[in-house]
Structure 1
Amino acid sequence: MDDRQGGAALAGAFHADVVRPLLARAMPRLRYAAARLGSGSDVLGLDDAVSRDHDWGCRLTLLVDDADAVPGIDRLLERGLPARYGGHPVRFPVTWDAADTHNVEVATVADFCRSRLGVDPTRPLGAVDWLCLTGQAVLEVTAGPVFADATATLAPARATLRRYPPDVERYVLAAWWRRASQWMPIIGRTARRGDETGSRMLSARVAEDLCRLAFALSRQWAPYAKWRGTAFRRLDVAPSLDGPLTAAVSAPRWEDREAALAEVAEVLGALQRERGLPAPDAVVTAFWNRPFRTVDEAVWTALLAEIHDPEVAALPPGVGSVEQWADSVDVLTSSDRRAALRAAYRAWISPGAAPGRSRPGPQGATGHAR
C-alpha cells in the first residue's frame, strides 16, 4: 500500500488483502457489498495529508441484504482482523466512538442508507422524503467507490438517488431562483444607503445561492461547504461562472457585483433552457423603477406551473428542500433531525393550494427589498 494514496485506495486494498480473504474462508456463501461510503473527505476523493489527523485509516463499509447476517460478520471481524495493515492501525478511535475498535461498518443496505439519509431508498420515496435530503448525505451513499457488490439492493438504491424526480427538481430549482430574486435587489439598495459591508454580505449570499443552483441545474449533488467550491469546479458550467462569481464577491463597486450576479443568472437561465426546462430569454429584470436588478419572477413561476405531483404543487413556492431553509449544522448533519422535519412539510401541504397562484402576503416575493 502506497502511503501517499488516499483513504479510498487504502480501503480498497484493505478489502482485497484482508477482509475479502477472511470472509471467503469463514463465510464463503455470503453475498455482500464492500465499499468506502459514509463520512470522510476520502469518500469524495478529496482527502489529503491534513485529513489524516482524525477519522482516517482502515475504514470500510460492508453491506448485506439480510439483517440476520450482520452479527456474525461483526464477530468474525472482531476476532479475525489483524492489528495493523499497510503501516496503519486497524483498530483506532473516531470522533463518534472513542473505543479502540475496528472501523469496518457492517449493516444492511437499508439500515446504512437510513443512517445517512433518514429514509430508506430501497423502498419508494415520496416528495417529502426527497425534500428532507441534503446533497452531502446523498453523496455519503453514492459518491464513494464500491469494490465488490453481490447485494440485490445497493446498486438500485444508488441509482434511485442519482437525481431528484422531475417535479421535485422543478420545485427545488424554483426555490433557488426565488431566493435570488428576494436578495439580489437589496445589494444596491444597501450600498446606496452607505452600508457597503451589508451590500457585500448580500452579494456573497446571492452568489452562493446561484452556485448551488448551478449544481441543481447540472443534476449533481452539492457537498457541504468545505468542499462545495472544489466540487463546483468540476461542473461543466463552471468555466462560464467562475469569473463572474469571483467578481460578485470581490468587486469593490456594488454595480459591478450586481452585474456579475446578473451574468451568472443569465448563464444559468440558458442552462435551464438547454435542460428542456422553461425559462424566459432574459432571466434578469429591473426592480420596479429603481436602478437595481433582480431575477424575473417568470423564471420560477414557469417551473412551478409544470409541477403535477399534488403534494409538491401544494407546498409554499419559496421553501424548497431542507437545506434551502435550514442552515444549522446540527440539523443538516443529523438524519434523525432532518427526518423529523417531514412534519413541517406535511403541515405546509394543504389540498387544493397551488404554489405561485395564491396572493402573497405583504412581503410578497421581494417585498423585504423595500
Structure 2
Amino acid sequence: MPMEFTPGIELSRRFHAEAVRPILRRAFPRIRYTAALIGYGSEVLGFDSPRSTDHNWGPRLLLFPDGDGAGLPDLLADQLPRTFLGYSTHFVTDGEGTRHLAPATGRVDHGVVVAGLDDWVRGTLGFDPRRPERADWLATPTQVFAEFTGGAVFHDDLGLETLRQHVAWYPDDLWRYVLACQWQRIGQEEAFVGRCGEAGDELGSAVVAARLVRDLMRLCLLMARRYPPYSKWLGSAFARLPAAAQLTPHLTAALAGTTWRERERHLVAAYERVAGLHNALGLTDPVEPRTSGYHDRPYQVIHAGRFVTALLAGAPPHALTGTIDQFVDNTDALGDRAFTRRVVDCRHG
C-alpha cells in the first residue's frame, strides 16, 4: 500500500489524466467523452480517509463516451497499469457485491465504469435534470443530489457540468418550502424535551433532544444551500459550515445533558442562533429570534411555527411534509427511485 494517503478525488483526477486519457487518445485520437467521479463514495463528498480504502474505493472513475463505448472496458483492461500511485488498479468483488482493491494476477478488472451519459444520469436521479418538475425535486433524497453535484468532472465534451448546474440547488420558491417544512418538524417536537423530562422520562427527553439536534443540523445545511448527506456524514458536513463553530458546543452539550433542563438550556441557545441565521438570509421579514415560554407550561421554545408562516407567506398551500427524506427515514425506501416517486405523487398529487 502507498506510504501516504491520496484523497480519492485527487487519485481519480490523476488516474484519468495520466493513465486513462492517454490510452483513449492513442486508440481514438478524436474521441469525445466526459470523465468524472460523482455518485456513490465518501470521496465524492470529500470525507474519505485511509479507512475508506478497504472497500469501493481506489483508482476509479465514470467514463461517458460519445457513441458506442462497447470496446472501451476491454481496451482499458488490457492497457491500464496494474498499479497507480501505489494503489492496485484491480478490483475483486466479494460475495456481498462489495468491491475491494487486490493485486492483479492477470487481466486488470478495473474501476472505470463506461456508460451512456443520459442513461446514467436518469438512472441516478430518476428524472431528466434539464427539465425538473416539482415532484422530481421532492422525490429525490438530498443524499442523491449531494452525490450528483459533488465530486469532480475531469473532462467534459458532453455537458455533464451543465446537467449538474440544473440541480445545483432548489428553485427559490421550493427552497422556502423545504425550509418551512424543516422548521415545521422542529415546531412539532420542541416542547417535548421538557414534557418528557417533567413526566420523569429523561430517556425519552434525551431521544427527542437528539432528534431536534439532527433537525437543526439539517436546517443549517439547507439554509447554507448545501444538500444534507445521510447520517454517516451529516456531522462532517455540518462541521464545515461557518455557523458550526458557535453551534456545535451547544448541540453537543444538549446531547450530553442528563436532565431536561440542561438539554433545554443548550437547545435554547442553539435555537436563537439558528433563528439569527434565518434572519440573515433575508428571505422573510425579521422574525423575533428569542425563545419564550410554551403557553402556560414551564418550557422554553423558539415557536418554530412563526418561521413556517413567514416562509410561506402568500404561497399556495401544500402539505407540510417536504422532500422525501423529511418524512421518510428508511434506507431501502430512499434508495428506490420508483418508490419515492410514488410516495411523493400520492402525498402531493
Q: When the two structures are superposed, what TM-score results if normalisation uses the length of structure 1?
A: 0.84
Stretches (4+) displaced over 4 A: 97-100
Q: Percent identity?
A: 37
Instruction: Indicate which of 302, 313, 318 corresponds to 1:315.
Output: 318
Q: CA distance change for structure 1 residues 33 and 283 in 2, over 3 Å: closer, same or farther? A: farther
Closer/same/farther in 2, CA of residues 232 and 98 from structure 1, 3 Å limit? closer
Question: Does the residue aligned with 1:101 lie in a helix, a strand or coil?
Answer: coil
Matched, 1:10 2:33: no
Counterpart residue type for residue 158 of structure 1: R
Q: Is the 8 A contact 2:35 2:61 kept in 1?
A: yes
The answer as to 2:334 corresponding to 1:328 is no
CA distance in structure 1 between the partners assigned to 2:58 and 2:308 by the alignment = 45
Match of 1:63 in 2: 64
* Structure 2 counterpart of 1:305, from 313, 335, 341: 313
Residue 355 of structure 1 corresponds to none
Please say if residues 291 and 300 of structure 2, whose CA atoms lie closer than 8 Å, have aligned partners that are also in contact: yes
**Paired position in structure 2 for 1:144:** 151
Q: Tell me how far 1:97 sits from its aligned partner.
A: 6.2
Q: What pairs up with 1:80-159 in 2 under 5 angstroms? A: 80-94=79-93, 96=97, 101-121=109-129, 123-151=130-158, 153-159=159-165
Whole-Å Cα distance in 2 between the matches of residues 208 and 97 of structure 1?
29
Residue by residue, what CA displacement relative to the aligned partner does 1:227-284 show, whole Å, maximum 9, x if unpaired? 2111111112112211111122112231221122222222222222221212512364
Deviation at 1:98, TM superposition (A): 6.4
* 1:7-37 Cα deviation digits (max 9, x unpaired): 2222122112210001111122222222222
2:253–2:266 CA contact under 8 A, matched in 1: yes
Task: Tell me the distance in 1 between the aligned counterparts of 2:39 and 2:223.
Answer: 25
Determine the structure 1 residue equivalent to 2:299: 292
CA distance in 1, matches of 2:338, 2:173: 20
CA distance, structure 1, for counterparts of residue 68 and residue 172 of structure 2: 37
Q: Is the 8 A contact 1:58 1:90 kept in 2?
A: yes
Match of 1:213 among 219, 243, 259: 219
SS at 1:69 equivalent: coil
Structure 2 counterpart of 1:92, one-letter code: F
Letter in 2 for 1:143: G
- The aligned amino acid for 1:302 is A
Q: Distance in 2 between matches of 1:2 and 1:60?
A: 23
* TM-superposed deviation, 1:314: 4.7
Task: State the match for 2:272 in structure 1.
Answer: 266
List runs of 5+ in structure 2 lacking aligned partners: 101-107
Q: How many angstroms apart in 2 are the aligned matches of 1:341 and 1:44?
A: 23
Unpaired runs of 5+ residues, structure 1, are 308-312, 351-370
1:15–1:322 Cα change, 3 Å: same
Shift of 1:101: 2.5
In the TM superposition, what whole-angstrom CA distance separates every residue of 1:59-81 from its partner, at most 9, and x where no partner exists?
A: 111124x4x33324334324433
**What SS does the aligned partner of 1:258 have?**
helix
Could you tell me how far apart the structure 2 residues matched to 1:124 and 1:229 are? 32
Matched with 1:253 is 259
Cα distance change of structure 1 residues 98 and 219 upon mapping to structure 2, 3 Å threshold: closer
After TM superposition, give the deviation of residue 175 of structure 1 in Å.
Answer: 1.0
Aligned partners of 1:283 and 1:299 also within 8 Å = no
